[in-house]
Structure 1
Amino acid sequence: MYIDPQWRILTVGDGDLSFSNALFQHHAPQHLTATIYDSLTTLQSKYGDDFHQQLLDRHCQVLTEFDITKPETWSHVSKHSFDLVIFQFPLVPGFTSKTEFNEKCGHVGINTLNRRLLRQFLINATEQLLDPTGPQLCYITSKGVKPYSEWNIEHSLILNTDINYLGEMAFDIANFPGYRIRNVDRDKHVKDTKGITYVWSPRPTKQLTQALSSQLTQLPELGNPCCHFCQAGPFTSTQHKQAHESSRKHLRMKDFEQQWLADLQTA
């Protein structure tokens, strides 16, 4: 993950605040605002207060009960005041019962709910948080395993928007000493699965700085030889392509994509 020390950065949904603390301590951005979805009381009961206090001691702004999907809850954030907004390993919390799921989600599946969350993050961050005169960057760090790998992050989130997908880069947790990837629902440390940081901006790729551009891997051009649902290919023959398109993985991903497109049409 590339960090420019001149950037003003906001972190979103940073569970125990250990990522924000490591970011500030080891990368020293010009300004850092750290946010969590939980209340301060919930933070303290789930994770303790260590990283919260360390950030306060370093004179960082820390906001609790910050919901990236609801701009009306951002009472202490100045509009258009950041260069980069980061969302680390986002995941919709689990439901305690099927009844709760049906009440809150209806017919929408978990895959679509996670895509909704990431899309709202990108739209709200670019429209409300990023300074139009700055680099205007959004980072989402995710994993290459289920369920994360089933969200088609590179292609599906910015349909019908003016946001550009710029590429991806490796996330090395060793560059953030003390960062603990937490379970979204509980006070547990999650296995440090290899992370990937995806990058978006309202600005086109050609406006990236050389320092950031050199770290990004771009998507190959879409076309018949590849399947962008599954990130598979290039296919070496018609038979190879047909075999993939009849596979269980592709049919599952195709179904997720159809559900997502239907959700966008009704949004």
Structure 2
Amino acid sequence: MGKKRKHQNHFVDSANAKKKTRPNPGPAPGGGPSRAKGKGAGAADGAKKKEQKQYHQNQQPVIPFKPEDAILLIGEGDLSFAASLAAHHGCRNLTATVLEKNEKELLEKYPHASENIAKITGAAVPSKPTKPAKDDEEDDGDASEPEEDEEPTPAPADGDDEDEEEKYKPTLPNNNKILYNIDARTMKPFTKRTTTHNHHGNSTTTKHGVFKRIIFNFPHVGGKSTDRNRQVRYNQELLVAFFNSALPSLAPGGTVIVTLFEGDPYTLWNVKDLGRHAGFQALESFRFHSKAYPGYRHARTLGVVRDKRSGEASGAAWKGEERPARTYLFMRKGEAPEPLSVQKKKKRRGGEESSSDEEEEEEEEEEEEEEEEEEEEEEEEEEESEVELYDDWR
């Protein structure tokens, strides 16, 4: 087993790939030379995309939370992401929410979720059912022995796994919990009251949110409509309602984290604009690396795919966690740091009032270049991602 890569725990935009040069072969007389040149351009473009994909895969994952943070997870599906945070990232202050009314309904939709529940709550992982003893056989007490004792798990190939587990070994009491029947659009605020006293003996009570991070991975309403525009609008309505309901539950200085697949139709949702209209400011975005969350599996909105004849879970599961995705960070307006371009303007106007017209023109040119670079990066991201219709997997 190879050595594990350390994860970054600070917020860094990892979308700074090299700029893509688009070959322009131009017209050529006759069919042969132009066609040959076109093939060469296509091969070069394909190699460039492959190189960029490898570049993003080699980047260190950005982990947008700390183990001690109070984290609210919305729409957790089969709870595999929450289980990974608890088991591999040492998170002990998780509140994972699901839309299903109770545990029974959740397990009917995602039968394997029982193991994830055990990891989150710290309970023993349920073992596989053993064959019942026959009536004429006596119980010698061996049936109560856990299955792991009979076939011990082999040790890791090297010490990396042990070091990783030791690193995230829980030192705090487990306060993780699972809440059922929580709708992202209408959830009640999670708040607490704080009373402060001044030197005059007067007290002031304020109410604020309790969660440092509120995470909603891959929000989707499901296949409500076959009409593309309506489906986009339904998902936009879901996100707007989520932003509005999450705002009062967010602690001062906290962040809301939304992860979406890259490419069409998700880029049409305009998640940054939706957050801004709800009172948030987009801070940054970066690639979502599913491998940074061992055990995480992307769960379909409609549950496990089952065979039409037998009704059993299909073994040919679609691995959505392997599809390119992007994470967006939001903070309340007024709490978010000012963009670098705004800081430069204030510095020029406040500290150096005698700046020349040439300096102001240089600033404007720098801002225009930054905007052009951002637009080019977004175009590259759209070209890199595979365009898949959501109806194929929802």
CA distance in 2, matches of 1:183, 1:172: 18
Alpha-carbon contact 2:99-2:182 (below 8 Å) kept: yes
Larger Rg computed on CA atoms: 2
CA distance in 1, matches of 2:100, 2:368: 40
Aligned partner of 1:193 in structure 2 is 323
Aligned partner of 1:31 in structure 2 is 93
CA distance in 2, matches of 1:221, 1:148: 26
Please report how far the alpha carbon of residue 206 of structure 1 lies from its aligned counterpart in structure 2 after TM superposition.
Answer: 5.0
Please report how far the alpha carbon of residue 200 of structure 1 lies from its aligned counterpart in structure 2 after TM superposition.
Answer: 0.2
Aligned partner of 1:45 in structure 2 is 108
CA distance in 1, matches of 2:277, 2:210: 25
- TM-score, normalised with respect to structure 1: 0.67
SS in 2 for 1:141: strand
Alpha-carbon contact 1:18-1:180 (below 8 Å) kept: yes
The reply to whether residue 124 of structure 1 matches residue 210 of structure 2 is no
The reply to whether residue 92 of structure 1 matches residue 215 of structure 2 is no
Aligned partner of 1:264 in structure 2 is none
Of the candidates 69, 80, 104, which is equivalent to residue 185 of structure 2?
A: 69
Please report how far the alpha carbon of residue 23 of structure 1 lies from its aligned counterpart in structure 2 after TM superposition.
Answer: 1.0
Change (3 A) 1:222 1:158: farther
Please report how far the alpha carbon of residue 147 of structure 1 lies from its aligned counterpart in structure 2 after TM superposition.
Answer: 2.4
CA distance in 2, matches of 1:23, 1:45: 23
SS in 2 for 1:109: helix
Aligned partner of 2:261 in structure 1 is 143
Alpha-carbon contact 1:84-1:138 (below 8 Å) kept: yes
1:156-175 alignment runs, 5 A limit? 156-175=273-292
CA distance in 2, matches of 1:54, 1:29: 11
Aligned partner of 1:153 in structure 2 is 271
CA distance in 2, matches of 1:162, 1:9: 20
SS in 2 for 1:196: strand
SS in 1 for 2:243: helix
SS in 2 for 1:84: strand
| % identical aligned pairs | 25
Please report how far the alpha carbon of residue 130 of structure 1 lies from its aligned counterpart in structure 2 after TM superposition.
Answer: 1.0
Aligned partner of 1:250 in structure 2 is none
CA offsets 1:97-136 (integer angstroms, 9 cap, x no match): 78xx9xxxxxx81111111111222222122x1112xx31
CA distance in 2, matches of 1:180, 1:126: 28
Alpha-carbon contact 1:10-1:85 (below 8 Å) kept: yes
The reply to whether residue 4 of structure 1 matches residue 66 of structure 2 is yes
SS in 2 for 1:124: helix
Aligned partner of 2:120 in structure 1 is 55
CA RMSD of aligned residues (A): 3.1
1:13-24 alignment runs, 5 A limit? 13-24=75-86
Aligned partner of 1:261 in structure 2 is none
Structure 1: which 5+ residue stretches go unaligned? 102-107, 208-219, 234-267
- TM-score, normalised with respect to structure 2: 0.47
- Amino acid in the other structure paired with 1:29: C
Change (3 A) 1:56 1:165: same
Of the candidates 179, 184, 197, which is equivalent to residue 296 of structure 2?
A: 179
1:98-117 alignment runs, 5 A limit? 109-117=230-238
Aligned partner of 1:205 in structure 2 is 337
Change (3 A) 1:139 1:227: closer
CA distance in 2, matches of 1:221, 1:5: 39
Alpha-carbon contact 2:240-2:278 (below 8 Å) kept: no
Change (3 A) 1:3 1:226: closer
Please report how far the alpha carbon of residue 81 of structure 1 lies from its aligned counterpart in structure 2 after TM superposition.
Answer: 1.1
Change (3 A) 1:221 1:166: farther
SS in 2 for 1:125: helix
